[in-house]
Amino acid sequence: YLEAYTAEKVTFIAGKEFAPWGLEGHTLVVRKALYGLKTSGKLWNERFSDVLREEGFTPSKAESSIWMRRNGDVYEYIATYVDDVAVAMKDPAAFMTKLKETYMFKLKGEGRIKFHLGCDFERDPDGTLFFTPRKFIQKMNDTYKRLFGELPKEYASPLPKGDHPELDDSELLGPDEQSMYLSLIGSL
């Protein structure tokens, strides 16, 4: 978020870690957007959007977090989610270098996409890129096992053939079960 300036007035009293600069006990003003401030994500996104427009990208009419531009005979894409970015372009390394050197963005996780927004990215034997929420599913299974002492039953998705959830006559959850259910849903 440090690429954007905060819109909030935030001050703090400098602690002992600021003593080497002679600032311990001084009131300092936060100028840069930081994690935890209400407007930081919005401000970072506005700054990044301005840069993308300057670089010739336009947001998709269907999904404003997908940006695109024509580059010769192909389209290049950038997908954003808060401050997470995934790119599909002819020369992504050159574009990332430009973001760092020209616009002073501090980037991490550059290179071929391996993990993004809770999903692992892999290639089929024929080279087709696909994603799978393997780590996320493992985390959910671990939470389920911690709550119930065993792994959940495996089910087909979205539903097994012939399933009729409208006919479910299971007992309603009690307060303890509701709490566990909400814990599982909260981790989605």
Task: Write down the pTM of the prediction.
Answer: 0.56
| Amino acid 55: pLDDT | 93
pLDDT tops 70 at residue 188: no
Condensed to tens digits (0 to 9), the pLDDT of residues 62-77 reads: 888 889 998 988 889 9
| Amino acid 132: pLDDT | 84
Residue 37 has a CB neighbour count (10 Å cut-off) of 17
Instruction: Report the distance separating Cα 78 and Cα 18, nearest Å.
Output: 39
Residue 7 has a CB neighbour count (10 Å cut-off) of 14
| Amino acid 112: pLDDT | 79
* Stretch 41-54: mean pLDDT: 82
| Amino acid 100: pLDDT | 83
* Stretch 89-101: mean pLDDT: 87
Task: Look at the alpha carbons of 126, 127, 132, 138 in this order and tell me if their dihedral is positive or negative.
Answer: positive
Average pLDDT score over the chain: 79
Q: Which pLDDT band, with edges at 50, 70 and 90, does 111 fall under?
A: confident
Taking phi over 0 as left and psi of -120 to 50 as alpha, with beta for the rest, 172 belongs to beta
